[in-house]
Structure 1
Amino acid sequence: MTQLEIGSPAPAFTLVDQDEKEVSLSDYAGRHVILFFYPAAMTPGCTTEACDFRDSLAPLQAAGYTVLGISRDEPAKLRQFRERDGLTYDLLSDPDHAVHEAYGAWGEKMNYGKKVEGVIRSTFVVDASGTIAQALYNVKATGHVARLRKLLGVD
């Protein structure tokens, strides 16, 4: 599994969102984007992380960041997740995990003491020029957004 490094170009992608509209990274050219990859909508850890992003959205947006969540879930499940938890940012569907792989957010990991292949909870900050400003792998769902805000200097 290849991991992205700070300063490397952010891999381009086009995925569909919870409303089945195409969303491309290039749609955000010239802006700062936070991409967070999570294992599965409506699971406890992913709900915690998604709601933390929701609760931090105003200060992140005020600081110039757009937040996008990416999982392997189909758009209908993403729509249900977004509505159930009042998420106010787009969730993107990557069912074949090609974008996960491009970002190094797919591979071997330990799950309850067993080695499995799957989503590696990761967050990336893409700067206005389209390069990786932060690449955070194996993040914990709880407390991650607070640590990211501190790292980005967003109060």
Structure 2
Amino acid sequence: MTERVILEPGMPAPSFTLPDQDGVERSLADYRGQKVVLFFYPEAMTPACTKEACEFQESSAPLEAAGYRVLGVSRDAVERLRRFADRDSLEYPLLSDPDTAVHRAYGAFGTKNSYGRIIEGVIRSTFVIDAEGKIEHALYNIKATGHVARVTKLLGV
């Protein structure tokens, strides 16, 4: 088992290029000059992940008005992300990272306690990345419910 990375404010955000729900390659570099809210969630179309994704959708207009772009990342295949986006009217990019390379670069995959069992899996996490590509906030082990309200409050949106 490899040591898990923990990102902290001021560190450079790991670069990535991943396909979105339409198969379009999206890179962090595409958003240079903009602020990004990057959230990692375990699985599309599950109850908690749906709640979190829908809350980000509901908050995407005020976040965008404040200069933030929302991006979601999961291990799901592009086709499943397309179904998720269609089913729940999600308009921001959902990125597919099936080999978890980007999850691991952000410390969003590793050993965790799941209902009393220690397993390897996705660690629900959110990162705020500034316009220069540096980590502004790194939030690990978050709860799906109420998390988006916490992020918007933290950002003053």
TM-score, scaled to structure 2: 0.97
CA shift, 1:32, in A, is 0.1
Q: In the alignment, which residue of structure 2 is the partner of 1:51?
A: 54
> In structure 1, how many angstroms separate the alpha carbons of the residues matched to 2:63 and 2:76?
25
Instruction: Give matches, 1:9-48, under 5 Å.
Output: 9-48=12-51
Q: In the alignment, which residue of structure 1 is the partner of 2:109?
A: 106
1:86 to 86, 89, 99: 89
Deviations 1:107-136 (A, max 9, x none): 000111000000000000000010000000
Deviations 1:65-84 (A, max 9, x none): 00000000000000000000
> In structure 1, how many angstroms separate the alpha carbons of the residues matched to 2:145 and 2:105?
25
Supply the RMSD in Å over aligned alpha carbons: 0.4
TM-score, scaled to structure 1: 0.99
Corresponding pairs, count: 154
> In structure 2, how many angstroms separate the alpha carbons of the residues matched to 1:149 and 1:29?
21
**Structure 2: stretches of 5+ with no match in the other structure:** none
Q: In the alignment, which residue of structure 1 is the partner of 2:7?
A: 4
One-letter code aligned to 2:18: L
Q: In the alignment, which residue of structure 1 is the partner of 2:152?
A: 149
Q: Report % sequence identity.
A: 66
SS in 2 for 1:123: strand
1:120 correspondence with 2:123: yes
CA shift, 1:88, in A, is 1.0
CA shift, 1:106, in A, is 0.4
Instruction: Give matches, 1:54-65, under 5 Å.
Output: 54-65=57-68
